[in-house]
Amino acid sequence: MRASILLHRYLLTQALLLCLITPPALAQDTQQRPAPPRTTVAGYMDLHFNKAEFEDGRIDFHRFVLLFSHSFTDRIRFVGELELEHALVEGLEEAGELELEQAYIDFLLTRGFNVRAGMMLMPIGIINERHEPPSYYGVERPFVDTFIVPSTWFEVGAGIHGEVGGGWRYRAFLTAPMNAAEFSADEGIREGRQKGANANLGRLAATGRVEYVGYPGLTIGASAWTGHSGFEFRPLFDVPVSLVEADARYSRGRVDLRGQFAQTWLGNVGRLNDILALRIGVNPNLGRSMRGFYTEAGYWILSGGDFGDVGTFVRYENFDTQFKMPDGYVGLPAFDRDAWVIGANYWPHPDIAVKVDYSILRSQSSVIEAPNSFNLGLGWWF
Amino acid sequence: MVVLMRYMLGSITLALVVSAILVAPPVWPGKAAAAQEVQIVDIVAERFRFTPSEIRVKAGTRLAIRLRSEDTIHGFHLVGTDVDLDIPSRGGEAAVMFRPEAGRYTFECSRLCGAGHSYMRGVIIATD
């Protein structure tokens, strides 16, 4: 009898101990089985109010974005991103744009080697692949990620990506090139994106990124893009374009830090300026190099409270779309700009951001003033 | 009364033992030592990475994987298995138990979490 009770006690103790180290949430059965096909939808929205100096305020439903993902199998996946900008499409970009920013198939072969084909984001810079409104400070994206790295930069192509261990990742894509006929002095290469719209594929462009994500909260990356962009001209002449970029982000606890540097080089720019002057009647005065960088520091003054989180930030940017000029050309000081942006984000929920900032934009020109602006934003992810 | 208490005690013990066996399937004697270990692994998910993204363990080790997000809702899907759970957005936690046999187990985010969602992958490497 006593032995029986002791046995019972022993078994009970063992069972309780086993249950304690195996709480119900951890007790999920793991059976080997292929995942059934499934489709998911997500998206983000971005509503802005901008009040530039000397102008009336404007409110703009800047972005309405839907993302789709469909897993055919565990190893074959479709991802799509459709974006409506400025709420209305009338055929001109100033009124609005409907853009297919992503539509690719991923063939997930191994951890270190995967193949992607379709419409893809260029793996360059912090914002281009990571632009969900709650994930960054500031109502508008950084100037450098607009004028030097033309975010959102997407193009049709194919390539490979993977993680090789130790926190190192890579991506390498071949895509359609940029169109040099659309370059401009104030916006750099931005308007040269073909966006997969019946894109010229005479000579492929190449882009790639190497990234380290092995330390908690830290991301360090370097990217490059190179292509030949003179395909639209007759007689044909070459306009080689290269861009290099490096960036770093660190987020831990209440602190967010990030920085980015990017520089672009154009070849045969003197001749490109001459030919564009004949086409459009005005010499575009393109620079042979464009450069920009920014640093940003953020600090969460409220974190983990019942009513959400609040973070403040300050960002300094410096960018010049005529950093180096071709022989015989002089750059305009108005395009040598820098900016201080200071503001705050309030996250009532991790997927909703209410943003406010003030942007002090300056140029080297004593004639043309760059306007400061007050900005309010509401962005959310679902 | 004594008989009733003995009956109740026996029933409770039996139920606990059966449930313990169900959540902890038996292992072969050669792997018993590894199987008795419970190794807690903390994984942080954020756009668009898992940290750590590579976990090396001894085959048969019982892994208690605790999951936390730094931003939005992510998913944790062990490819080839039916382990697929949501990681709540910042402030919440999730957990799952997994006992790998020798091999490589890819895990990935199963909640569409942004433009770089496809890069959120990692691997559990279990060796003898």
Model pLDDT for residues A121-148, shown as the tens digit of each residue: 999 999 999 999 999 999 999 999 999 9
- The CATH class of B37-127 is mainly beta
Probe site for chain A from B21, B43, B61, B71 (most A CB atoms < 10 A): B71
Contacts of B114 in chain A (CB under 8 A): 42, 67, 130, 132, 135, 381
pLDDT number for residue A356: 98
What is the reported pTM?
A: 0.84
How many Cβ atoms are within 10 Å of A197's Cβ, its own excluded?
10
Residue B57 has pLDDT above 80, yes or no: yes
Confidence of residue B51 (pLDDT cuts 50, 70, 90): very high
Rounded to a whole number of angstroms, the distance from the CA of A78 to the nearest CA of chain B is 10
Q: Under CATH, which number does the domain A35-381 receive?
A: 2.40.160.10
What does the alpha-carbon distance between residue A180 and residue A234 come to, in Å, rounded to a whole number?
13
Mean pLDDT score of chain A, rounded to an integer? 89
Whether the Cβ atoms of residue A373 and residue A168 lie closer than 8 Å to each other: no
Question: For A212-261, what is each residue's pLDDT tens digit?
Answer: 999 999 999 999 999 999 898 888 889 999 999 999 999 989 999 999 99
Residue A197 has pLDDT above 80, yes or no: yes
284-343 in chain A: CB under 8 A from chain B:
304, 309
Q: Which segments of chain A are extended strands (E)?
A: 38-52, 58-71, 76-85, 97-108, 114-121, 154-165, 168-175, 205-212, 218-228, 240-252, 255-266, 289-305, 308-324, 336-349, 352-363, 373-381
Confidence of residue A95 (pLDDT cuts 50, 70, 90): low
pLDDT number for residue A9: 43
H or E element, residue B82: none
Question: For A146-163, what is each residue's pLDDT tens digit?
Answer: 999 999 999 999 999 999
Question: For A271-324, what is each residue's pLDDT tens digit?
Answer: 999 999 998 888 999 999 999 999 999 999 999 888 999 999 999 999 999 999
